[in-house]
Amino acid sequence: MNNKHGGTIYAIARQMGIKPSELLDFSASINPLGFSPRVKRALRGHDDAILHYPDQEAHDFIRELAGYHRLSAANIIAGNGSTELIFLLPRVVKTKKVLLVVPTFSEYESSIRKAGGKVFYFRTTEEEQFSIQPQDVLKELQKGYDALYICNPNNPTGVLISKEVLKDIAQSAWQRSTTVIIDETFIDFDESQSLKYETKELENIYILRSMTKFFALPGLRAGYLISAAGNIKKLREQQEPWTMNALAQHAGVESLRDKDYIQRSLHYMKTARHELAAGLQRIFCLKVFASGANYLLIKLLEPAPLSVSGLYNKLLEERIIIRKCNTFQGMGDSFFRIAVRKKSENKMLIGKLRKILEGGKSVNG
């Protein structure tokens, strides 16, 4: 089974001989409130769109995004999830020598290698809470790289780098003609830290965005990329036709229009993440890392009664999935990631973890 990603509910359910709906998935980090109610209405109301090819330019979706972000439509390209654009980028930008800040999402590396590029790692460490020291990145860039990839907030560590720090890095990279790809798939939870407006002055920045996480549309596939108009034009020229389907385009438009849902989601996430982290921290053999996204990175500490794999299997017996982090570059076997889900589900998970790890007792009550 492909274990590079969370959210593999179909494969797991097949293996267990159960329905995917019988699983409680903490491995994919999707807005626990689900998608906007306007999406359901849009999908029903626009089912005739299936009879036609989708708008190849995704005009309405891009126009809506432009209004939402207060950017020009010429600065945005839409795709079949941000994954399509991750794979399009190295084919168009032709980056040969690439620096990845790791541990991080695995598809950057796959896409670069498939396009013939060579990957180098800039490692962040547990000792420094997986934060990046900008001066160290800048020093490394002096060695000469075509591109630098930074995921912000980072998957799986949850580390959120401030806009100011990233801007400094992007500016220095610009002077060295280094392209900077910033994956802001999870930035909707703190939009103020997005580097989107910096694309106006810094033409070396490409910002990946997604409708998958915050707007909870993983099965429809909807993503986009923000960059200088000249860069967007080149990407459009190389993009395959009709990659973003018609229903995803409608759902994207309606999601962005639902201001009430957006506010509710932001508020819910803040309180739910706080409560989940606080509950997990009380379990003595867990170390919970600070997160700027809708998931938490957790380390299983000695003397835990079992390994992360053991914990994964025990939870799976209860039809709960967590994300083991051993497939992330340099992470080792003792980390796992869990999504912030509904408050009642989070409470239930905390209870199960206490039972498995402490036999139901907790040192801190």
- List of residues contacting ligand PLP (CB under 6 A): 81-83, 105, 151, 155, 183, 185, 210, 212, 218, 223
Closest contact distance (angstroms) between CB of 109 and ligand PLP is 12
Nearer to ligand PLP, 82 or 255 (CB): 82
Instruction: Give the C-alpha separation, 263 to 120, whole Å.
Output: 39
Closest contact distance (angstroms) between CB of 350 and ligand PLP is 24
Nearer to ligand PLP, 214 or 279 (CB): 214
With H, G, I as helix, E, B as strand and everything else as coil, classify residue 151: strand
Q: Which two tokens stand for residue 186?
A: 């999870």
Nearer to ligand PLP, 6 or 117 (CB): 6
Instruction: Give the C-alpha separation, 106 to 3, whole Å.
Output: 11
Closest contact distance (angstroms) between CB of 64 and ligand PLP is 17
Query: How far from 229 is each of 80, 163, 214, 249, CA to CA, in Å?
Result: 20, 21, 26, 21
Closest contact distance (angstroms) between CB of 208 and ligand PLP is 6
With H, G, I as helix, E, B as strand and everything else as coil, classify residue 219: coil
Nearer to ligand PLP, 195 or 283 (CB): 195
Nearer to ligand PLP, 78 or 232 (CB): 78
How are beta strands 320-321 and 24-25 bridged, if at all? parallel
Instruction: Give the C-alpha separation, 88 to 119, whole Å.
Output: 17
Position with the least CB separation from ligand PLP: 81
Closest contact distance (angstroms) between CB of 178 and ligand PLP is 21
Whether residue 33 contacts residue 270, with contact meaning beta carbons closer than 8 Å, is answered with no
In sequence order, the β-bridge partners of residue 223 are 79, 210
